[in-house]
Amino acid sequence: MKYTLMVLALLAPLTAAASLGATEAEPEPNAFVQSVRELHRGPPVQQTRNIANVETRWFTLKLDNFNAANNATWKDRVLINEDHFTAGSPIFIYLGGEWEIEPSSITSGLWVDIAKEHNGSLIYTEHRFFGKSFPITPLSTKNLKYQSVQQALADVVNIIKILKQEDKYKDSKVLVSGCSYSASMATWIRKLYPDVILGSWASSAPLLAKVDFAAYMEVVGQSFKQLGGQYCYDLINNATSYYQKLFESGRGAKAKKELNLCASFNAKSEHDRWQIFSTIANVFAGLAQYQKPGNYDLPRYCSVLRSFSDDDAEALSLFVQWQLGYPKCVSVSYQGTINYYKWAKNNYEDDTGLPWIYQTCSEFGWYQSSGSPNQPFGSSFPATLYTDTCHDAFSPNYTLNHIEANTAATNAEFRGIDIDVNNVYWTQGGLDPWSKVGAGEAQGATIIPQASHCSDLGSISLNDSPVLMASKLKLKQLVKDWLAQ
Ligand SMILES: *[C@@H]1O[C@H](CO)[C@@H](O)[C@H](O)[C@H]1NC(C)=O
Ligand SMILES: *[C@@H]1O[C@H](CO)[C@@H](O)[C@H](O)[C@H]1NC(C)=O
Ligand SMILES: *[C@@H]1O[C@H](CO)[C@@H](O)[C@H](O)[C@H]1NC(C)=O
Ligand SMILES: *[C@@H]1O[C@H](CO)[C@@H](O)[C@H](O)[C@H]1NC(C)=O
């Protein structure tokens, strides 16, 4: 069936990383880990027929940008497209976030079109600890102390310094853009280094760090209600409350069977129950976060959901298994997740998601919990699921208080959505769950109705809604204005 093929292509399978000398076997694929990773995959890859020369270069950077006594270095991967570049023209950087970089983001799309207009060079920087850019290994908690947004921003500034030693770049002005976390970076780098970065475009930037990000699932629910239909919302709501009631009334074995959970799932473990409900919600969130209204994604997914069964609970169970790629059984044990993350410390070659989880513990939180009553995924996955994961996967230091203090420190540094910064253009999707921690109209952001996460990266198209089109034209003009400053 064609849907199966489509989803298998969407979900990066949890393939085994080569075990680097260690003898430990990869833990069984874990549906919770898979669902979290899916929410942090890179921006949608642009469809392109453009032939472009993208060069890969490795920049030698400092392991610790803030300690002069530590002279350890590493090599960061950077992609460069100079097809449109003439000497002295601007540098257009696209910032990598918590994903592996790939060429299409600097060969087509709106940012590329704008760069062309100014004879600019396009540069895609890989964020430390993602893709192929590891400053230090293994990914022990001790080594991950070098993972932070401040370090990553200083890396980008150092890449610019190195580029500017070349004659053709010495007079180039520098603009940056980003999507999702890399849009937060685009905002923050302009604030911290206004003399280096002339202006920024930030598409779907979360700006306010927050441990319990309960509003996220509200917007996921709204997306299904508005685009999929009330029946779809009600179906999800009814099915999750059915399973929740089974667990709460001591009939966990029945729920385990009906959800096809693996033997390792312990119906009596609170943490295991948190994981299954969180996984279900994440599966739906992944669809909502990258839905394209023009493609009728959510109405289609809702009709598939309904078509699995007339029984709401059975339909939801089958839909989730389909989205997970039809595993033999759905593996969602808490200990399985912790084992996977511990294994990932030595087996980092594949994108395991571990360094991002670390950053949520040490800087951002953003735990997508069931804390709001205004969403259809029940009330069984508190932020504690994630803070306990910090504690058990990284260090006993990660108590809730400690994680709260970490997010407070991030907000003290960047000032959340009230950040004081200029020459930054924020764009948001009206149905993007992340917009709840991003700039709003009051901060000057453009809100694109019904759009989701990073949905405005493509070239100007006749299919663009009027607001989307206007926003793209506004960005073009802003770039012109900034470059004229
Ligand atoms: C690093 O610094 C130490 C002392 O600060 C020095 O002895 C050593 O030569 C330096 N190494 C390199 C590669 O520069
Ligand atoms: C871009 O380069 C072309 C060819 O060198 C030149 O004619 C044009 O004026 C340049 N445009 C800008 C905006 O610099
Ligand atoms: C809710 O789901 C249960 C279990 O699937 C089903 O028996 C019931 O009819 C559903 N209720 C509604 C209103 O659809
Ligand atoms: C945990 O906290 C102790 C005491 O503050 C500190 O010495 C230690 O380095 C911390 N460990 C980690 C992994 O952060």
Question: What confidence tens digit (pLDDT) does each residue in 225-240 have?
Answer: 999 999 999 999 999 9
For residue 5, is pLDDT > 60?
Answer: no
Q: How far is the CA of 232 from the centre of ligand 3 (A)?
A: 13
Question: Average pLDDT for residues 8-18, to the nearest whole number?
Answer: 32
H, E, C per residue of the chain: CHHHHHHHHHCCCCCCCCCCCCCCCCCCCCHHHHHHHHHCCCCCCCCCCCCCCEEEEEEEEECCCCCCCCCCEEEEEEEEECCCCCCCCCEEEEECCCCCCCHHHHCCCHHHHHHHHCCCEEEEECCCCECCECCCCCCCCCHHHHCCHHHHHHHHHHHHHHHCCCHHHCCCCEEEEEECHHHHHHHHHHHHCCCCCCEEEEECCCCCCEEECCHHHHHHHHHHHHHHCHHHHHHHHHHHHHHHHHHHCCCHHHHHHHCCECCCCCCCCHHHHHHHHHHHHHHHHHHHHCCCHHHCHHHHHHHHHHHHCCCHHHHHHHHHHHHCCCCCCECCCHHHHHHHHHHHCCCCCCCCCHHHHHHHHHHHEEECCCCCCCCCCCCCCCCHHHHHHHHHHCCCCCCHHHHHHHHHHHHHHHCHHHCCCCCEEEEEECCCHHHHHCCCHHHCCEEECCCCCCCCCCCCCCCCCHHHHHHHHHHHHHHHHHHHC
Number of C-beta neighbours around residue 139 at 10 A = 22
Cβ of residue 71 lying under 6 Å from some atom of ligand 1: yes
What is the CATH number for 422?
3.40.50.1820
Residue 93 lies in a domain: yes
- Mean pLDDT lowest among 1-15, 65-79, 128-142, 429-443: 1-15
Cα 93 from Cα 16, distance rounded (Å): 32
395 lines ligand 4 (CB under 6 A): yes
Q: End of a domain among 409, 427, 444?
A: 409
In a domain, 325, yes or no: yes
Residues 376 and 330 occupy one common structural domain? yes
Residues whose beta carbon lies within 6 Å of some atom of ligand 2: 86, 89, 118-119
Residue nearest to atom 12 of ligand 1 (CA): 71
For residue 118, the ligand 2 atom closest to its alpha carbon is: 13
Question: Which ligand 4 atom is the nearest neighbour of the CA of 145?
Answer: 14
CA 415 to ligand 4 centroid distance, Å: 26
Same domain, 343 and 435: no
Give residue 348's pLDDT. 86
Question: For residue 119, which ligand has an atom nearest its CA?
Answer: 2
Looking at all shown ligands, the one closest to residue 88's CA atom is 2
Residue 309 lies in a domain: yes
Domain assignment present for residue 335? The answer is yes
* pLDDT of amino acid 329: 96
pLDDT value for 291? 85
How far is residue 57 from each of residues 77, 199, 239, measured CA to CA in Å?
6, 24, 50
What is the Å distance from ligand 2's center to 83 Cα?
13
Residue type, 54: V
Query: Which whole number is the average pLDDT over 370-383?
Result: 97
pLDDT value for 6:
33
Query: Where does the pLDDT of residue 46 fall: very low under 50, low under 70, confident under 90, or very high at 90 and above?
Result: low
Give the model's confidence band at 15: pLDDT under 50 very low, under 70 low, under 90 confident, else very high: very low
Residue 221 domain flag: yes
pLDDT band (50, 70, 90) for residue 357? very high
Q: Are residues 234 and 158 in the same domain?
A: no
Residue 284: both structure tokens together: 């739906």
d(CA 238, ligand 3 centre) in Å:
6
Name the domain boundary from 409, 437, 461.
409
For residue 59, give the nearest of 41, 30, 42, 79 by alpha carbon. 79
Same domain, 383 and 253: yes
Residue 7 lies in a domain: no
Tokens of 260: 């096809």
**Domain containing 229: what range?**
211-409
Instruction: Give yes or no for residue 8 having a pLDDT over 60.
Output: no
For a pLDDT cut of 70, what percent of the chain falls above it? Answer: 93
The chain-wide mean pLDDT, for the chain, equals: 92
Residues 263-314 have pLDDT tens digits of 999 999 999 999 999 999 999 999 999 887 677 799 999 999 999 999 999 9
Task: Establish whether residue 397 lines the binding site of ligand 4, counting it when its CB lies within 6 angstroms of any ligand atom.
Answer: yes
Candidates 62, 71, 73: which one to mutate for ligand 1, based on the most atoms within 8 Å of Cβ?
71
> Quick one: which of 446, 450, 32 has its CA closest to 261?
32
Task: Give me the mean pLDDT over the 308-326 stretch.
Answer: 97
Residue owning the nearest CA to atom 12 of ligand 2: 118
Q: Are 234 and 267 within one domain? A: yes
Last residue of a domain, one of 344, 374, 409: 409
Residue 92 has pLDDT above 90, yes or no: yes
235 and 105 both lie in a single domain: no
Instruction: State in Å: Cα 78 to ligand 2 middle.
Output: 25
* 223 and 333 within one domain: yes
The Cα–Cα gap between 315 and 277 comes to: 15
- Please state which of the ranges 5-19, 68-82, 376-390, 393-407 shows the lowest mean pLDDT: 5-19
Q: Do 435 and 294 share a structural domain?
A: no
Domain total in the chain: 2
Q: Whose CA is nearest to atom 13 of ligand 3?
A: 238
Q: How many angstroms does the Cα of residue 358 sit away from the middle of ligand 4?
A: 15
Point out the ligand 2 atom lying closest to the alpha carbon of residue 89: 14
- Distances in Å between the Cα of 386 and the Cα atoms of 3, 10, 202, 337 are 31, 25, 27, 11
292 and 252 Cβ atoms separated by less than 8 Å: no
Residue nearest ligand 1's atom 2 by CA: 71
Contact between 98 and 179 under an 8 Å Cβ cutoff? The reply is: no
Closest ligand 3 atom to Cα of 314:
5
Q: How close is the Cα of 141 to the center of ligand 1, in Å?
A: 25
Taking the CA of residue 73 as reference, the ligand 1 atom at the shortest distance is 13
166 and 266 part of one domain: no
Within a domain: residue 31? no
Residue 12, domain member (yes or no): no
What local confidence, expressed as pLDDT, does residue 75 receive? 98
- State in Å: Cα 119 to ligand 2 middle: 6
Interatomic CA distance for residues 371 and 354, integer angstroms: 24
What pLDDT, on a 0 to 100 scale, did the predictor assign at position 49? 63
Does pLDDT of 384 surpass 50? yes
Ligand nearest to the CA of 254: 3
According to DSSP, the residues that pair with 73 across neighbouring strands are 62
If asked whether residues 61 and 105 sit together in one domain, one would say: yes
Which of 86, 117, 171, 173 best tests ligand 2's pocket when mutated (most atoms within 8 Å of CB)? 86
Residue 19 predicted with pLDDT over 90: no
367 shares its domain with 427: no
pTM over cut 0.75:
yes
Distance CA 7, CA 409 (A): 39
* 174 and 81 assigned to the same domain: yes
